[in-house]
Structure 1
Amino acid sequence: MPKNAQVTLRYGPYESSGLVEHRTFRLEGLQAALREHGHQCVLEETSDWNIVELVVNEESVYTCDIKQLEFGGDGKLDPLCKEAVIAVDNAY
């Protein structure tokens, strides 16, 4: 995938502190890792609980549980962020 691809991050609500809401705190590292590789991120809420899906050219290239992503940070030490960046880089 060429640099500067537009990546849609579809994310669902998850439970934290007894509340189920859409939150982007766990997406910060993923967004930073993608931006570092030259990609643009667009956030899109979905109704599916606990999910993050990366979409490139209308094709889902990576999916994971949002609660498995590290809270905050730059994504450099999160293995899921590394997997996601590789999946986006290898997308057609």
Structure 2
Amino acid sequence: MARGAVVRVRQGPAWRQGLPQSGAARLQGLRAVLQADGHQLILEEIPDWNTVELIVNGETVFRCNINELDFGGDGKLDPLCEEARKAVLNAY
């Protein structure tokens, strides 16, 4: 897939330190990596706990536990962000 895809980023609430919280800070690096490739992101909240899904052209191309993403940062050193980036680039 060429750069500039529309990517739906579906995120569920996350447990952090025993409390339910928004996982938005965990998505900072993932969002930065995808936007750097020129992708347009559509953020969507879902009820599935600890879940992040990337959907391109109606197909789920990447899924992970939100707690496994690095907190904050630009995502360049997070191996999961690189895996997600490649999944979006290889989507059809």
Q: CA deviation at 1:42?
A: 1.1
Residue 32 of structure 1: aligned partner? 32
Q: CA deviation at 1:27?
A: 0.2
Distance 2:21 2:59 in 1: 26
Q: CA deviation at 1:23?
A: 2.7
Q: Supply the AA of the counterpart residue of 1:79.
A: P
> Normalising to structure 2: TM-score of the pair?
0.95
Higher mean C-alpha displacement, 10-19 vs 32-41: 10-19
Is the 8 Å Cα contact of residues 26 and 67 (structure 1) preserved in structure 2? yes
Is the 8 Å Cα contact of residues 22 and 45 (structure 1) preserved in structure 2? no
Q: Where in structure 2 are the equivalents of 1:56-67 lying within 5 Å?
A: 56-67=56-67
Distance 2:65 2:91 in 1: 20
Q: CA deviation at 1:17?
A: 3.6
User: Gaps (5+ residues) in structure 2?
Assistant: none
Q: Is 2:49 the partner of 1:49?
A: yes
Distance 2:7 2:56 in 1: 5
> Normalising to structure 1: TM-score of the pair?
0.95
Residue 16 of structure 1: aligned partner? 16
Q: Is 2:78 the partner of 1:78?
A: yes
